[in-house]
Structure 1
Amino acid sequence: MPKKWLYVIDEAIKRIENDEVELGLTALQKVQEHGKDLPEVMMYLAEVWYRLGHLDDAVSLLTDVMEKNPQMEPSLRRECQLLLAEIALDSSDFETAQHILYECKESGFESIQLDLLLADLYALQDLDEVAVKYLEQARQKEPDNQDIMAALGNLYFRIGEDDKAMEMLEMAGAESLDLLLTKGRSLAQNGQFEQAYQVFRQALVLDQSPEVLFGSAMMAFHVGRLDEAVELVKNLQAIDEEYVAAYPLSADIYLSMGKTKEAIDSLKQYVSLSGFDLDQIRRLIALLTQSGRYDEAKEYQQLHDQWNEESEEE
């Protein structure tokens, strides 16, 4: 690719990243206008449009390049096709993606990217066993690729092959956050809460994200470490007060500690954030009634009835 075109495109991207969006987009459009006879430049530009979220522009450009350059180098044509398939997958246009990918496959083309896109095609349609087949093919080409092993591990969990899943995830890296979270969830699903608690505590060392804090708080609750569970939930809410799943958990913890007032406060916050969750409203009404707060219970009963009627109408 001529260096001047690469330079102009990269400079345009920098402009966009520095909030000079209009200037950057104008520069990209100029490249498209003046470099239209250079397939490599247009291919690179199409990828840029795609990464910026301009999917229609990327598809239009790729289609145009392929139509106007029937003698294009096979490797460049394959790049165009694979990018078109990737865009189709992002748009949930599975039929188009499958058509493109199978055209590549039937022509004898082999690559890890093709295997990974085929795996995505089937995984997105919940055809996990077929997706595993293509990921295994990709792994044969790059046996030490940790990303492929991690993806395989997650798919093996989805099809119920937990032993294979754990083997893949451990091979992907024992200290991987994804591995720890997946392992913790698997142990929790099997009722092994103490082991899951220990795994989530390991994850907390690597990451203090809401997801990790929530899992750690949930496991601390299940193993009876209530004070710790409360602190973890508070830390989570301090980071993300709209993480709605934290509020019912908080209510569970406070009720186990005999703190009904705090449980009620948690459920009130949950209802105000989550919208139409009738089960949690009923739970809140019951706690308010038990606490003798009848006026508040009546208000939430009216809200419950209103939302219940609306959901039935839908």
Structure 2
Amino acid sequence: METIMEAVRLMEAQQTEKAIELLEKYLPVANEEERYTIAELYIQWGFLQEAKVLLEELIQQYPDEAELKLTLADIYIELEDDESAIELLNDIDENDPAYMQTLIQLADLYQSQGLFEVSEQKLLAAKRLDPNEPIIDFALGELYFSTGNYLKATTYYEKVLPKTNEIGHVSIRDRLAEAYAEAGEFELALTYYQDEANENPESLFKYGFTAYQAGRNDIARKAWERVIELDTYYHTVYLHLANVYMEEGELKKAYEIAQKGLQVDEFHKELYLLAGRLAHQLEKDDASEAYVREAVAIDPDFKEATLFLIELLKNRADYKGIIDLVIEIKDIGALDPLYEWELARAYNEIEEYNNALKHYTIAYNNLKDDSDFLKEYGYFLTEEGRVEEAIPVFTAYLEEQPFDDEITEFLRRLQQSDREI
């Protein structure tokens, strides 16, 4: 043991190579207990391959020693060799005192591989061995939570809570709150968040989100304001808090918090769009356009932002601006039939009818079931003297809107005039 202790001292002195060299020279004369101690040191120091070799040799000598197998299985898992770990663990006898721990470890492995039913079977078998062990109830709760069976998860978390508030740095109250929230039981979820009186920004954010889902904007607002007080850089909260202010009609506050959020996260496209919407409502249209353009610049495929920007440009009668915008994002690869429709409208407004026709025709291929489009396209074709083409478009429109008497009569007149020609 003196040699092993000397190696430990060398490692503490950051003389890693000398420590490992000393142990390697000592291994041929070390007894089994010392070899296991050296394996443990290898694990502690992160030399997993070396520890693996030693433990595999020891298991050859002591094939029924479950503790050796559990330790080696941990190494296999760290080395991403789950199959070897499963094979080793399945070899542990069910009468061994370590069998329950083996079942829990196997359940975790099977869960990580997506074999949830097998994982559940292992955990239920472990629970039959020890019905009151909170680790097993917690593992079952985690399994059901991960598979979306939230109410079933709460059953097991509830069993854990009277025994402990936390397992593996996971708050049981937080888990119960999340599970009930995911199951739609928002009021019940809130009670667990309220009981969890902490100043953790993440927990407070979740508390606020659950309150918001429960229709309790007052609680959500206070929780999210506190999150920002605790952590200015918790960027996720700004969008949600701004939305709450907006819903409560406090547009200036919403706008201010959106602006603060953008100082924290300058690549938050949804927050740029919200800032743009709020600026528009506050009659700050120049700022509105600037914010929404930033959203589109971040993600040219951000359809909601693009369509909002198009509406802003329409309000200014800036049809050339619409054309430039849509052509630019199309060149980048953002494609949508609504963009073709907007191009057609813009070209129509500036009296470039051939271009308008071209884009109406392209849009028609994908908007044949959109009654608003069909009606507009039909009128455009009629104004362009393309009555024969307008008739099937209006006919298709009436299939969608059969009670539109005005278009029914208009189509009848078109058909009559077309026959007369």
TM category (shorter chain) comes to 0.7 to 0.9
1:139 counterpart (127, 131, 134): 127
The offset of 1:115, in angstroms, is 1.7
Of 176, 182, 186 in structure 1, the residue corresponding to residue 175 of structure 2 is 182
Instruction: Supply the AA of the counterpart residue of 2:119.
Output: A
CA gap 1:216/1:107 in 2 versus in 1, 3 angstroms: closer
Give the greater-gyration-radius structure (CA): 2
Number of matched pairs = 295
Q: String of CA shifts for 1:112-152, please: whole Å, max 9, x gaps.
A: 33222221212223332221222222333333321221111
Does the residue aligned with 2:142 lie in a helix, a strand or coil? helix
Sequence identity, in percent?
21
List aligned pairs for 1:53-68, cutoff 5 A: 54=46, 57-58=47-48, 60-66=49-55
Q: Given that residues 139 and 148 in structure 1 are in contact (C-alpha distance below 8 angstroms), is that contact kept between their aligned partners in structure 2? A: yes
CA shift, 1:86, in A, is 2.5
Relative to the length of structure 2, the TM-score reads 0.58
Contact 2:42 / 2:50 at 8 angstroms: preserved in 1? no
Post-superposition offset of 1:44? 4.1
Structure 2 match to 1:196: 189
Report if the CA contact (8 A) 1:129-1:159 is conserved.
Answer: no
Q: Within the alignment, does 1:210 sit opposite 2:201 as a pair?
A: yes
Structure 1 stretches lacking a partner, 5+ long: none
**Which residue pairs with 2:83 in the alignment?**
98
Return the letter of the residue paired with 1:100.
A
Q: Measure the CA separation in 1 of the matches of 2:130 and 2:6.
A: 32
Counterpart in 2 of 1:124?
A: 112
Structure 1 position 85 matched with structure 2 position 63:
no
What amino acid is aligned across from residue 230 of structure 1 in structure 2?
R
Worse-superposed segment, 247-256 or 41-50: 41-50
Report if aligned partners of 1:115, 1:135 keep a CA contact under 8 Å in 2: yes
Distance 1:48 1:147, change over 3 A: farther
Match of 1:229 in 2: 220
Distance change in 2, residues 1:293/1:90 (3 Å)? farther
Give the alignment of 1:143-158 within 5 angstroms. Answer: 143-158=131-146
TM superposition shift of 1:6: 6.3
**Which residue pairs with 2:318 in the alignment?**
none
Distance 1:67 1:179 in 2: 38
When residues 112 and 51 of structure 1 are mapped into structure 2, their CA distance, relative to the original with a 3 A threshold, is farther
User: Helix, strand or coil for the counterpart of 2:299?
Assistant: helix
Within a 5 Å distance, the mapping from 1:289-300 to structure 2 comes to 289-300=280-291
The answer to whether structure 1 residue 238 and structure 2 residue 229 are counterparts is: yes
TM-score, scaled relative to structure 1:
0.75
Deviation string 1:249-296 (CA, Å, 9 cap, x unpaired) is 211222233222332333344445556543343223222222233343
Q: Displacement, 1:224?
A: 5.3
Higher relative contact order (CA 8 A, sep 6+): 1
> Does the CA contact (< 8 Å) of 1:101 and 1:114 recur in 2?
no
Query: Is the 1:28–1:45 contact (alpha carbons within 8 Å) kept by the matching residues of 2?
Result: no
1: CA distance, partners of 2:145 / 2:41? 34
- Hey, what's the Cα distance between the residues in 1 that align with 2:235 and 2:295? 18
| Separation in structure 2 between the aligned mates of residue 306 and residue 183 of structure 1, nearest angstrom | 41
